[in-house]
Structure formats: structure tokens, C-alpha cells
Structure 1
Amino acid sequence: MKKACPNYMTKVRAVAGDCGLPGLGLGEADRELLCQEVRVVFHIAATVRFDEKLKTAVHINVRSTKHLLELARHMPHLKVQSQNAWNRTWSSSLELVFLLLITASGRNR
């Protein structure tokens, strides 16, 4: 990132949210800002506690991803990039899922 866009930190803004809450815990103003301004999404939020209650883990790890993808469909300037901290073999699968979701929503890459 530093090489491709040395001043990238001037383009990054933190937005408060919570993957465990409906709508990712985003306020309406933040949701609108994200939809209008975001070009790249890094979704790396997850619970990795092995003693987490299954319902909580599914909500954070699965439903929040679904909610983020739904939000991303409203981002006209989005360039999808898959990033994760897990085994790199997941990467091509995730990129394919993102590509399929964008294709299904009628948007081109």
C-alpha cells in the first residue's frame, strides 16, 4: 500500500461500528459516508476465540460479512480487494465470491 499510494493515510478514516450489532452498528451518517466515499474495503474483523459461543461466533464471522457485502453493493466507486489473516489458500476463493456477488448485483469490476 505504501508503495502504490505513499499518502494513503490521508485517505483513511476510522468509523465506529460493531460486527456484533445489526447493520454493523453503523450510524446513518457513517453509512452514507461509506457508500459515497469508499473505494477499497478490507474486511478483517472476526472473533477467533475458540471458547466463543457458537451463536456469537456465527453472528460476528458470518452475518457481519454478509452485512458488509450488502453495504458494499451500495458503494459505486468500490474496487474489491480480498485480504485476510488466514491461510492464503482462502484468498482465491474469497476473491471469486466477491466477484460473483458484484457480478450478481449487475456491477462490473
Structure 2
Amino acid sequence: QLLHFCLLLGISLAALLGNGLIISAVACGHHLHTPVFFFLLNLALSDLGCICTTVPKAMHNSLWDTRDISYSGCAAQVFFFLFFIGAEFSLLTIMCYDRYVSICK
């Protein structure tokens, strides 16, 4: 259980660090205020939301050796996870279309 907790902690910290660096670079760099970096910033935010929705409860369950979650907690996790996954797919679709238009036209 402790190995599982450490693995989840490492993955979540790596995701937080990587997405945090992307967010801070785009927010602080004035020359990065273009549509591509705007979409990249939003993609990093939705990725953070995806990770922060499920991983903390999994880490808690792993550390305390439990498997229980309330019905409302499960419903909230599913709702937010699907919301952030939908946002990521939408942003990736928009980014693909933006690149398609810039290359072909």
C-alpha cells in the first residue's frame, strides 16, 4: 500500500510541476499571449483538474488501507472527471483544427 501511495504521489507531483511550469511560463511571458499558448494554458489547467479530481482520494485510500467512498463523493468525482476529460478533448480538437487551418490556408 505504501508503494502504491508513493507511486501516486510521484505521478501527481510530476504532473503538478509540469503543468505549473507551463501555466507560469504562459502567464508570465508576454510574447506567449497567442492563441496557441492560450489553448495550451487551458489544456494544462484541465489536466490539473483531471489529476486533482481522482488522485487525492486514491492516495488517501491507499495510505489508510480503505476502499470506501460516499455516494455523493463518487458522483462528484465522476462528474468532475468527465467534465475535465470533455474539456481536454474539446481543446485538443480546437487545437488540431487551428493547426489544420494555419497549415492549409
TM-score by length of 1: 0.31
Q: Of the two, which has the highest radius of gyration?
A: 2
TM-score by length of 2: 0.32
